[in-house]
Structure 1
Amino acid sequence: MAAELVRGQNHPLPQTRLEIRISAGNPIVAGATLGDERGTVHGAEWVAHPASPQLAGIEVPKQAAAAHRLAIDLDAMPEHIHRVTVLLALPTGVGGPARFGAMAAPFVAVTGLDGTEIARYTVTDLDTESAVAALELYRRQGAWKVRAVGQGYAGGLAAMLHDQGLEQGTDLAARIEEAVARGMARSVAQPPPRPEGDGRVRTAAAGGGTDPAPAKPPTPPQQSQDTPPAGGPIDYQHPGRRTAAPPTPPPAVPPAAPGHPAQPVAGDASGWTMDERLYNQVWGMFEDLARTTAAYRSAVDFAESRMEQELDRVLSDPRTRVGPAADSARAEARDKYTDLVEQAREALERDLRQLTAEAEVVEPALPPAYARWDSPVWQAYQVPMEIPMAVRLGDLHLPERPDLRIPMLVRLPLERGLWIDAGRSGAYDEVAVDSGELRRLAADAAVAIAARLLAVYPAGEFSVHVIDPAGSAAGSFAPLVESGALAEPPAAGAQGVSSVLAALTQRVDLVQMAVRSGATDALPPDLDTAEQLLIVHDFPHGFDDRAVTQLRYLADEGPSVGVHLMMVADREDARAYGPVLDPLWRSLLRLTPVAEDHLADPWVGHAWTYEPSLVPSGSRVLGQVLGEVGRAARARQSYGS
């Protein structure tokens, strides 16, 4: 269990590669200062902030946001650094709250790279303060600890930096505020130039100049957000994995010809392993596409606004509304608009060409957990020995280049359940399939995801249960049944629903009690400790009120102890329950069996089109992969007996 800290309390850190997760009700700025044994900050180069987001062993976000993740590697900290203080500040001049007392208390958590919380702290008792030192990581006798600080400053960033010994604190605070304001004004920060000698090719934002910020690698992107039909967006961020000095260097990049971009290379991002480098590279591509598209759209919006202003000036004066001068002014305004849009489009096309070239190199290099089902990597599939970092749930693309697909990777183990929407929403009106076909496609999508999860876990470390009360998806579930990959046949009828839910609810209860009491060795010997996935098809058929309550309990409490939920359902079928089930739908990541633009990135809210990762028609890859999974499971059972 994570330690719930109060102000002044400390807690040991069991590992040195960490994330600091920050959540607030309004956009805030996050940064960090590095201090010596006395906590003194000796210069601006000891501060990680939006205008200079990366120092040795730490990387912070470049923009104000309501949620942040800071990547920290304490082993990479220089020997003279003994304190890392996490700073939070309210951005100025953007119309938000001017003091922390006017918003929800910020929440800060220290987690491992797998998302497991080590310590958490809610910064309370703030009033007029506009900046706060939230947490402090400090070194004592060779070990690192975390302390809840919660020291607020009514004088803002400048007062906080001065308090830590930084003489040029006022100038640095102004620089930080300028960088944040600049980023918020253009909706998205332009990708900075790559450091000299770094082969990773980043795109340049359309219609923009050179970013005055230092040349640092961009902040890792965040996972797409799901916006359910009811309720606000749910944050589903991907954690930053970049570090200052990974022990395994990225592959060498061929030198670029003068005047031409460097050739992209698979795995040239930061990381300890090739899988981690590819994971970071994929999310770097997602970030690049989001940024360059945002820059293009901003440039077009600016051109339209400028043309309208110039036309308004012509029309506002009755003396200049008609005549040759008015016609000339209108033509000139339209020509300027066309020139600006063409320049922005040229920059966008240049960036998209580079990203397309990178995607063509990266896609064939992806391991099974990240690869499409039509990738040759599946032909040589073997059950892995280790759990991968993430799994591919589908593809994402934007209307500016629909053929440029970015893999949608989510971290393992799953942090939240999945909902394959089998209903015909308004977005499906143009889809030329009927409701029955949509339900079949939804079941097929669920099987494809379940098969991928089974395939990427070592034998015996992942189990799948299916509830199909009416047996209406027997054809879709047949590959799971015939391969022996299922823990038991799909449960049918009200009795089957009740039996499966009772068993999984009991498992969650037992594991939670064991973890809370520190007695995990006292769990029953026959308890299946593998990660569990429950697929519920055709909900709420076969469910009574008690079963619905158990399902909600599994959705809320299951992920923390390895029980995950996948709903294959039409929300309209459960309308009789009214708002009672709203928390259930909001807790799940909504996916669709057909392409739909319902996912949003956390920076500028692009409407990303999601496409499910389905097995190609006529392909035998699903049967081959599940066959290997089933054989490995049977071999493990025989060995255990």
Structure 2
Amino acid sequence: MTAELVRGQNHPLPHARLEIRVSAGKPVVAGATLGDEDGRVPGAEWVAHPGRPGLPGIEVSRQATTDHRLTVDLDRVPAAVHRMTVLLALPIGPAAPVRFGAVAAPFVAVSDPDGTEIVSYTVTGLDSESAVVALELYRRQSAWKVRAVGQGYAGGLAALLGDQGIDRAGELAAAIQEAVAPGLARTVGTPPPRTTEVRRNAAAASNGTPGGDPGPGPGPGPGPVVGPGPGQGAAPEPPAPTTPQPPAQTHDGPINYTHPGRQSAAPPPPPPAVPPAEPGRPPVPVAGDATGWSMEERLYNQVWGMFEDLARTTAAYRSAVDFAESRLDQELDRALSDPRSRIGGSGDAAREAARAKHDRLTEQAREVLDRDLAQLATESDVVEPALPPAFARWDNPVWHAYRVPMEIPMALRLGDLHLPESPELRIPMLIRLPLERGLWVDSGRGASEAASMVDEGQLRRLAMDTAVSHAARLLAVYPAGEFTVHVIDPAGSAGASLAPLVHSGVLDEPPAAGAQGVSAVLAKLTQRVDLVQMAVRGGASDALPPDLDTAEQLLIVNDFPHGFDDRAVTQLRYLADEGPAVGVHLMLVADREDASAYGPVLDPLWRSLLRVTPVPDDHLADPWVQHAWTYEPPRVPPGSQVLQQVLAQVAEARRTWRR
């Protein structure tokens, strides 16, 4: 039976081999330190962190994610080590929260090798802290115990490490944050907060439908139920508040997933009733069966739920296969090390039995995966046709009935995501609006194998076509007059790709060309950012110039850094850092190799942008288990005029609005 600890409480550990699971509402950095009897850590080499994930007896995650699994073997811990502390810290990033008080309380559980929980602890009472010592494993008379600590540090990771006696703790903290920065840059996003209700299949989980145990593997449960299923041993997340909060005002604060502008405090409407399922079969999926204020919000939450379900069921399958491989290796080693197996055919029989057991475990894991994939595919078939234009593919019939909206939607579809275990099951990649970070459409051939197979000129054309598709979607989902697009095309090489934007009349000005055009556009947008920032900080928004365009702004830059001098590069970095908070967004179409002459100066720029590709590429990660997902860019069906028709309506609505 699991012991639920409170701060300061301890509990004996019956096993030397353990697994520590961390579940948080936002991506966090997980690490561990090895110390003496007084808790002092000899040096930085005794800290396990993403940049150095393995130490004797402990291995931690390499990325900042919402869910971690730390493996512990207390028998391998050096004799001089008497304490092992598990630490959590918030990463530093464009959209990362700055304090634990702004996120759901982290949940930590210690399990034995078969996944059975021994103790659990919810780290509550945090406010301004950005780092915390969650648990402490310590020796007492040759036995090990675990204590719930929950000691937070407002000074962050540097203060935590310094408190444990580590010299130059600030440098180590900076190195840890640098180690997780690439992973944060490629993460798709942060999921919306969970509510206290379990998603659509909670009742079915107890009947043996998806959500059950995949077998002896130690991974999380596979089913498309948000939260653990029976026998999984996964830590339940603390309930998140369901009352809407005001929209976040700064880009460095917590991401708010409530509907933009909604101020009502009424409870959200319940999800639609799910038709009863036949005995022994999973319930029939229904579009919009998640919680939310409106059908749009329920669909948004449902898509995120499907995304998480596919991530976790695949993680469970991979974990079960890894377990089967590990077990096979152990049994083969045992058979070979026994001298008696070398006489007669007993050795061959043992090896055949081990391989048969491996195949059986793998087949069981695949059966569970296929069952869950089938249910997710059925749900996708129901949800996809019901999506509104902002969430729908270009080939969805909803675009043929398109009308310029009256309000901003919750999110925008940037493409599709899928995993190698189920390439036919596509999950919409939805990002919240307004954009919280800029986009980088990578036109480089060296970025992936798929890109290297495409001609350089064709790849650059595809990259610009992808950027125009994204821009057209943004224009289409905003009300008339509330979104403006600027284009910088220094060499004028993107004329064919930009034709839909230019010919429809949705651009206020023609694409800027040459060094003079680059300078003029950057100066205009930089001035807008400065003016709006001063007005917001001074509380004098009515003092803005009457001719200032208050609509959201998108700047598309083609072939960066061609046509950019040092001043222009500095202005672009400024727009990428400060623009999103005041409604100025960047879409960069570039090959990073073209800017290699700038060296590390531009590294913060690339990390601040969400990288997407014009060809399928597996560079994006989910925020739960950090799978490498293949991203599929949005494609207008060949021969379709949907893009031109939509842009024509947008242009007409803009003209009407200005009259």
TM exceeds 0.5?
Answer: yes
Shift of 1:428: 2.8
Look up the match of 1:300.
Answer: 321
Look up the match of 1:167.
Answer: none
Does 2:214 match 1:206? yes
Q: Do 2:418 and 2:427's aligned partners in 1 also have CA atoms closer than 8 Å? A: yes
Shift of 1:323: 3.4
Look up the match of 2:393.
Answer: 372
Which residue identity is paired with 1:26? A
Which residue identity is paired with 2:442? D
Look up the match of 1:26.
Answer: 30
**Relative to structure 2, which stretch is displaced further, 205-214 or 431-440?**
205-214
Shift of 1:196: 3.7
Does 2:361 match 1:340? yes
Separation of aligned partners in 2, 1:268 and 1:423: 41
Look up the match of 2:490.
Answer: 469
Q: Measured at CA, do residues 583 and 353 of structure 1 come closer, stay the same or move farther in structure 2, by a change above 3 Å?
A: same
Q: Measured at CA, do residues 205 and 103 of structure 1 come closer, stay the same or move farther in structure 2, by a change above 3 Å?
A: closer
Q: Measured at CA, do residues 219 and 434 of structure 1 come closer, stay the same or move farther in structure 2, by a change above 3 Å?
A: farther
Which residue identity is paired with 1:269? A
The C-alpha deviation readout for 1:522-565, integer Å capped at 9, x for no partner, is 11011000000000001111111100000000001000100000
Shift of 1:65: 9.2
Shift of 1:487: 2.3
Shift of 1:249: 2.3
Which residue identity is paired with 1:261? P
Separation of aligned partners in 2, 1:367 and 1:212: 36
Q: Do 1:467 and 1:491's aligned partners in 2 also have CA atoms closer than 8 Å? A: yes
Look up the match of 2:332.
Answer: 311
The C-alpha deviation readout for 1:108-141, integer Å capped at 9, x for no partner, is 9999xxx9999979x9xxxxxx9975457xxxxx
The C-alpha deviation readout for 1:70-123, integer Å capped at 9, x for no partner, is xxxxxxxxxxxxxxxxxxx999969999558x8768999999xxx9999979x9
Separation of aligned partners in 2, 1:624 and 1:543: 34
Partner SS state of residue 389, structure 2: coil
Look up the match of 1:526.
Answer: 547
Separation of aligned partners in 2, 1:108 and 1:590: 15
Q: Measured at CA, do residues 202 and 249 of structure 1 come closer, stay the same or move farther in structure 2, by a change above 3 Å?
A: farther
Look up the match of 2:117.
Answer: none
Which residue identity is paired with 1:597? D
Cα RMSD after superposing both structures: 4.3
Separation of aligned partners in 1, 2:360 and 2:616: 34
Separation of aligned partners in 2, 1:564 and 1:348: 40
Which residue identity is paired with 1:486? L
Q: Do 1:135 and 1:150's aligned partners in 2 also have CA atoms closer than 8 Å? A: no
Shift of 1:160: 7.2
Look up the match of 1:495.
Answer: 516
Q: Do 1:599 and 1:607's aligned partners in 2 also have CA atoms closer than 8 Å? A: yes
Partner SS state of residue 471, structure 1: coil
Q: Measured at CA, do residues 384 and 119 of structure 1 come closer, stay the same or move farther in structure 2, by a change above 3 Å?
A: farther
Look up the match of 1:282.
Answer: 303
Q: Do 1:205 and 1:296's aligned partners in 2 also have CA atoms closer than 8 Å? A: no
Separation of aligned partners in 1, 2:613 and 2:135: 47
Shift of 1:448: 0.4
Q: Do 1:296 and 1:345's aligned partners in 2 also have CA atoms closer than 8 Å? A: yes
Separation of aligned partners in 1, 2:593 and 2:655: 40
Partner SS state of residue 545, structure 2: coil
Q: Do 1:192 and 1:211's aligned partners in 2 also have CA atoms closer than 8 Å? A: no
Select which of 598, 608, 611 maps to 1:577. Answer: 598
Does 2:275 match 1:254? yes
Q: Measured at CA, do residues 284 and 322 of structure 1 come closer, stay the same or move farther in structure 2, by a change above 3 Å?
A: farther
The C-alpha deviation readout for 1:218-276, integer Å capped at 9, x for no partner, is 989xxxxxxxxxxxxxx999866699994322222111011111111100001110010
Shift of 1:149: 12
Q: Do 1:462 and 1:530's aligned partners in 2 also have CA atoms closer than 8 Å? A: yes
Select which of 421, 425, 429 maps to 2:446. Answer: 425
Look up the match of 2:649.
Answer: 628
Look up the match of 1:387.
Answer: 408
Partner SS state of residue 340, structure 1: helix
Aligned identity (percent) is 64
Which residue identity is paired with 1:287? E
Q: Measured at CA, do residues 109 and 490 of structure 1 come closer, stay the same or move farther in structure 2, by a change above 3 Å?
A: closer
Instruction: Give the gaps of 5 or more residues in structure 2.
Output: 1-23, 33-60, 78-82, 106-120, 137-145, 152-197, 216-220, 222-228, 241-251
Separation of aligned partners in 1, 2:253 and 2:439: 12
Look up the match of 1:539.
Answer: 560
Partner SS state of residue 572, structure 1: helix
Separation of aligned partners in 2, 1:110 and 1:615: 31
Look up the match of 2:161.
Answer: none
Look up the match of 2:173.
Answer: none
- State TM-score, norm by structure 2: 0.68
Q: Do 2:551 and 2:583's aligned partners in 1 also have CA atoms closer than 8 Å? A: yes
Partner SS state of residue 299, structure 1: helix
User: 1:40-55 counterparts in 2 under 5 A?
Assistant: none
Q: Measured at CA, do residues 302 and 440 of structure 1 come closer, stay the same or move farther in structure 2, by a change above 3 Å?
A: same
Partner SS state of residue 391, structure 2: coil
Q: Do 2:415 and 2:633's aligned partners in 1 also have CA atoms closer than 8 Å? A: yes
Separation of aligned partners in 2, 1:285 and 1:317: 48
Look up the match of 2:530.
Answer: 509
Partner SS state of residue 445, structure 2: coil
Partner SS state of residue 425, structure 1: helix
Q: Measured at CA, do residues 98 and 238 of structure 1 come closer, stay the same or move farther in structure 2, by a change above 3 Å?
A: farther
**Relative to structure 2, which stretch is displaced further, 311-320 or 569-578?**
311-320
Partner SS state of residue 369, structure 1: helix
Look up the match of 2:46.
Answer: none
Q: Do 1:206 and 1:295's aligned partners in 2 also have CA atoms closer than 8 Å? A: yes
Aligned length: 502
Q: Do 1:271 and 1:277's aligned partners in 2 also have CA atoms closer than 8 Å? A: yes
Q: Do 1:246 and 1:270's aligned partners in 2 also have CA atoms closer than 8 Å? A: no
Separation of aligned partners in 2, 1:94 and 1:500: 59
Shift of 1:383: 0.5
Q: Do 1:193 and 1:216's aligned partners in 2 also have CA atoms closer than 8 Å? A: no
Q: Do 1:450 and 1:464's aligned partners in 2 also have CA atoms closer than 8 Å? A: yes
Q: Do 1:417 and 1:587's aligned partners in 2 also have CA atoms closer than 8 Å? A: yes
Instruction: Give the gaps of 5 or more residues in structure 1.
Output: 1-19, 29-62, 70-88, 124-129, 137-146, 162-190, 221-234
Partner SS state of residue 581, structure 1: helix
Partner SS state of residue 608, structure 1: strand
Separation of aligned partners in 2, 1:331 and 1:513: 74
Q: Do 1:195 and 1:215's aligned partners in 2 also have CA atoms closer than 8 Å? A: no
Q: Do 2:89 and 2:131's aligned partners in 1 also have CA atoms closer than 8 Å? A: no
Q: Do 1:134 and 1:151's aligned partners in 2 also have CA atoms closer than 8 Å? A: no
Separation of aligned partners in 1, 2:648 and 2:372: 42
Which residue identity is paired with 2:297? E
Separation of aligned partners in 2, 1:557 and 1:109: 10
Separation of aligned partners in 1, 2:484 and 2:353: 67
Which residue identity is paired with 2:360? D
Q: Measured at CA, do residues 254 and 431 of structure 1 come closer, stay the same or move farther in structure 2, by a change above 3 Å?
A: farther
